[in-house]
Amino acid sequence: MNYITAGAFMKGYEGAFKLDGKIATGEMLSFVFPPSSTLKDAVNAALTAMTADGTLEQLNRTWGLIP
């Protein structure tokens, strides 16, 4: 979800979520996990690997997110 939507969503769940990190595209997008979630590290690792091997850039080009 985008950064603004994530912030609005989190207001309804005070203390249950936090914004953390950035996605390599520079877009203001967010993944939302509870603070105790073990998924955050796995998603960050996957995004790092996808950035390193060009997969994320290719997906963004395929779907028209970058020229």
- Tokens found for residue 16: 């249950």
Q: In the structure encoding, which two tokens stand for residue 10, read together?
A: 């989190």
Instruction: Say which amino acid occupies 14.
Output: E
Mean pLDDT of 46-63: 90
Q: What is the mean pLDDT of residues 17-43?
A: 74
pLDDT at residue 55, rounded to an integer? 94
pLDDT at 22 over 60: no
Question: Residue 8's pLDDT is what?
Answer: 79
**How distant is the alpha carbon of residue 65 from its chain centre?**
15
Residue 42 has pLDDT above 80, yes or no: yes
Looking at per-residue confidence, does 7 or 34 come out higher? Answer: 34
Q: What is the pTM of this model?
A: 0.54
